Structure formats: structure tokens, C-alpha cells
A and B are shown apart, each in its own frame.
Chain A
Amino acid sequence: MKRLGGYGPGAAVVAVPLGIALAGPLLVGEPTARAASFTLDAGHRLGTDFVGRDVVQQVLLGGRPVVLVALAATVLVYLVALPVGLACALTHRRWLEEVLMRPLDVLLAVPSLLMILLVAAAFPPGKAGLALLVAFVSAPDATRIVRAAAAEAASRPAVEALRMQGESWWRLAVGYVGRSILRTLAADAGIRLTGVLYLVATAAFLGIGVAPDAADWAVMVDRNRTGLIVQPWAVVVPALLIVALTMGGNLLVDAAMERRTPVRKGRRT
């Protein structure tokens, strides 16, 4: 798909939120004394939040949980998707494939946020729980993609030759098939990361997996909404950072994918 420029725009958009998320907690310094809620006085450059904390400090602290939970969830997704997908693609037992893949079709039928809410209602999760939950709802799709890519690689003559040589399953799965699907995996990981980031932020906004006064951009947007008229910065700044993070991330992923699969030119007749 044609866009303006290559990696440039995406990298530029994502740099600010990612920089704040990673380096912010180092720059924050001592927490300042709590002031009145929702003020815009001289002592605080972006004013104070709903319990009178400095918005600048909260912004600096609030990116790390969003990014870390999303990264952890993405890693967890592949911890499930890779073994299950590879096992399905390499097995010759049809029933094993059915047993492993059919439940995923069912999971795919349930809206992801609904599943998260359903579990959260019965068992309120913490940060780790949220990462697990998001990984759980994102894993079926990733598994299907791993399986499809691996099945293609596993049907090549090279795999048959390796089998006949008596190579171990491990050598086959990791050494050959795993290596040949690396590109597909990298592209899928990018898409998965943006999807997971969306779910993590939205869940946090709805108050799942986070403390009600947590320093987290999504929570800041939610909790400071009541003061939007008097003190917009406590909402607008974290919201803009989330927009920039997701938007830039998606642009980067797309640029990376385009580099891998060059667009065919001049197909119009």
C-alpha cells in the first residue's frame, strides 16, 4: 500500500511517546507535594490531576506500564502460538490438529474485549493478569498464522528429505521450518503488537488490571475526564501520547512489511 515516505513518518511519530515511556521514569525525580485537584497554577507546568498530583510527573511515569504490558503480552502470545502452530503443521495425525485448532475457532468467535471483561468480572486481574488475558485473546489468531506459514514450509521436499535422513523433530521444527517462517513471523509480530497495544490501553481505560490511581496514560485519560473543562492537559497530553504511540507503531509496521514485499508496479492495463 502506498504511503507518504518509508520508515521516516512512523519513526518520527512514535519517537516521542516511546522515548517518554522508556526514559520517563528516570527523569521524574522526587514526587512533589500534592496540591489541589485540577489546578493550573505556576508550580505545575501541565497542572495537577484528579488527586492533585503533578501531571508532568504522571505523564513521565505513565507510559512504561502501557508499553511493558503490551510487550509482555506479545511475547506470551508467541510462547503459545509457536509450539501449537508448529505442532499442528508438522504432525501427520489429523485428530491432533483438529483437537488443537478447533477450540481456537471458537475463541475467535468471541469479541476480544468481551472475553477480557468476562474474565475480569469473575477474577479481577493485576498487571501480569492483564498481560496474560490479552495474550490469551490474541493467541488464536497468531496460532492460525503460524500454522498456515509453517504448513507451507513443512510441505516442501526439503522437509521430506530431512525426515528420511532421520533428523529429530526438534531439528525439523526449529532448525528448518522455524527458520523459514521467520519473515512471516516478524510481520505478524508487528501487527500483533499494535493489536495488543490497543487492547491493553482500552482495558486500562475501562479500569481492568490497573489500580484506580495508577500512573498509566490510559488510566489518566479515564480518571481526569471529570476535570476536562477546567484542566484539559491532564487528559489531552496522555491521550495524544497514546494516539502517537499506536499511530506511529502502525505506520512503522506497515513500512517494514512493504520493504519485505515490494509492490508490483505497472499492473494496470
Chain B
Amino acid sequence: MNALRSWIARRLLLGVLQTAAVVLLVFGLTEALPGDAAVAFAGDQPDPQRIAAVREAMGLDRPAHERLTDWVVGLLHGDFGTSLTSGRPVAGFLADGFGPTLLLATLTVLILVPVSVGLGVLAARHEGRLTDRLISSATLGVYAVPEFALGVLLVSVLALRLGWLPPTAVGYGTDLLAHPAALVLPVLVLLARPVCSLARLVRAGMIDALAAPWTAHARRYGIPGARIRYGHALPNALAPATQQLARTIDWLLCGVIVVEALYVIPGLGTVLMNAVADRDIPVVQGLAVVFGVATVLLNLGADLVTHRLAPRSGAAA
């Protein structure tokens, strides 16, 4: 028990360090770039007066460490700074976009886990036979396809040619749950890559677990096949998949940005892309912190779950 506690303590410490590092990195990156936020914001028409005004507003004339301290203290209080384009607080932007993005991510993860585990177990049970070959080839093929290309093809076929689903979420506002049809295509596209990677891992883990000596031993004891498969082999197969699930969060975040742009969903990804187009550095920084910290926390959670599922595997830290 003591070893477990010290492992958890070390893992939590790593998470705290990573969070701090993400915040520093976000600040440092915009600091290290040529020019400063004001020059970047002014863009192609550098108007000295405007640059001076932005510098004044962001306090860019003060030393970097002072601004960093202020920014971090603000972050801890939920104050993400002020947008350069509209003068609104960044936290307001985050609150606006949060709903649709959370809905998309939650739906995707809720469907992702049963579908990929189901596919992986199905392929593993029929290892080497046609079902397995079909699932393995399909998951391998779709695995590397960018979301936007897949999404645009699905729109052309399912929405425009067949007319089954709305092509975009335009006109539905932020209350997407009231229009489930508009959610089908985005969630489908978001699912594609993570399902492939997870199903492949579950399949490989299942096959390894079913071939292990302890499975053979359990069989000799006369334990029913289903109980061996789902009670013993599956948890072992899920350990690497849980870790990958956290890595898929990286993909999901990338995917959310693309999918929101593609289907015109007013979530955090759209806020981020607009801020990038306007070079609105405070908004981009705020979003980067939120996304980065979310990734760190999810990785942390996944490591804890993995440790619970297969304590011997000695996850990171």
C-alpha cells in the first residue's frame, strides 16, 4: 500500500510540474517570438499609434517576469486577461465556447469506449479469420486519415447527395442537443481515428492475454470461457488501451478544432481559430492553457486508472 501511495504522490507531482511547465511554455513561446504581441496583432498594417495603444493595454513595457507573475496570479483566480480585438475578458470567450465542445467531447468518449472495445474483442476472438482481417484492415486504413478530408467526404455523400443529415450546424446556435441530427457527422468524424487506434490496442492486448500461460491454466481449471475473456483477459488488455485513451485526447483536441471549423460549431475550437486569425494573443494563450492543462489532467487520470487495472505494468513516473 505504501508503494502505491508513493507512486501516486510521484505521479501527482509530475502532473503539477507538467501543468506549471505548460503555463510557462505558453508564456515563453509568445515571448520568444520576433516582435511582440502588439506587433503581431497589428499585422500587415503596423500603425505605430495602435501598437503603442496595445502595448499600453497589455503592459508590454513592463519586464517579462512581472507580467508572468501577474498572468499566473490571474490564471489562479480564473482571470485569463482581456481580448485585444473586443476588449472582453478572455474567460467570457471560454465560457461561450465551452458548452458545444464539452458536448462533442463527452459524446465522442461515451461512444468511443464501447465501440472500440467491442471491435477489438470481436477481432481478437476471430484472430486471423475474415472478421479480424476486415476490422484490422479498416482500422489500419482510417487511422492516419486527416479529419477534414474524411469529414468533407462524409458531408458530400451523406448530407448533400443522400440528404440524410444537415451538412453543417449553422443556424442551430450553441444548443446542439436539441438538434441531434446536426451532431451525427461531427461525432462520427471525431470518432474515426481514436476508434481505430484503441480497437487495435484492445485487439493486440486481448490476443496476448488469451495466449498467456495463466489463461491456459484458468481453462484447465474449467473456468468458463466468457468469464476468462471478460473477467480476466479484458482488464489486462484495457491497461495499454487506457493509456492510449489519454493520448487520444491529444487527437480529440486537434479533431475538435478541425471538426468545429468544418461543421461551423461555435465551440472552443472556433474561438481559437478566430483568435489565431485575428492574432489575438491573450485569447490564444488562455485557450492554450485550458487545453494544455486538460491534457495533463486526463493523462494523469489515465495513468491512475492504468495502475489500478494492471499494477505490475509500472506506468510512467
Residues in A with CB closer than 8 Å to B160 are 228-229, 232
Of all chain B residues, the one with the shortest Cβ separation from A235 is B152
8 Å CB interface, B257-302 against A: 257-258, 261-262, 272-273, 275-277, 279-281, 284-285, 288, 291-292, 295-296, 299
A42 touches B (CB below 8 Å): no
Contact A2 B133 (CB under 8 A): yes
Q: Map CB proximity to A onto B134-153 as digits: 1 under 8 Å, 0 otherwise.
A: 00110011111111111011
Contact B145 A110 (CB under 8 A): no
Q: Tally of A-B residue pairs with Cβ under 8 A?
A: 175
Min distance, Cβ B197 to any Cβ of chain A, angstroms: 11
Residue from the list B18, B25, B140 in contact with A1, Cβ < 8 A: B140
Residues in B with CB closer than 8 Å to A254 are 140
Residues in B with CB closer than 8 Å to A114 are 253-254, 257, 288, 291-292
Most B Cβ at <10 Å: residue of A122, A232, A251, A254: A122
Contacts known (A118-B284, A242-B146, A243-B145); A2 close to B295, Cβ less than 8 A: no
8 Å CB interface, A9-47 against B: 9
Residue from the list B25, B153, B295 in contact with A236, Cβ < 8 A: B153
Size bin of chain A's contact surface: 35 or more
A148 touches B (CB below 8 Å): no
> Chain B: interface secondary structure?
helix
Residues in A with CB closer than 8 Å to B128 are 2
A205 touches B (CB below 8 Å): yes
Q: How far is the CA of A107 from the CA of B296 in the complex (A)?
A: 11
**Chain A residues near B (Cβ < 8 Å):** 1-4, 9, 105-107, 109-115, 117-124, 194-195, 197-198, 201-202, 205-208, 218, 221-222, 225, 228-229, 232, 235-236, 239-240, 242-243, 246-247, 249-251, 254, 267-269
Q: 7 A-B contacts, Cβ less than 8 Å apart?
A: A2-B136, A109-B22, A111-B292, A121-B280, A121-B281, A123-B40, A208-B276
Rank and list the top 7 A-B pairs by shortest CB-CB distance, nearest first: A113-B254, A250-B144, A106-B21, A267-B211, A269-B216, A242-B149, A121-B284
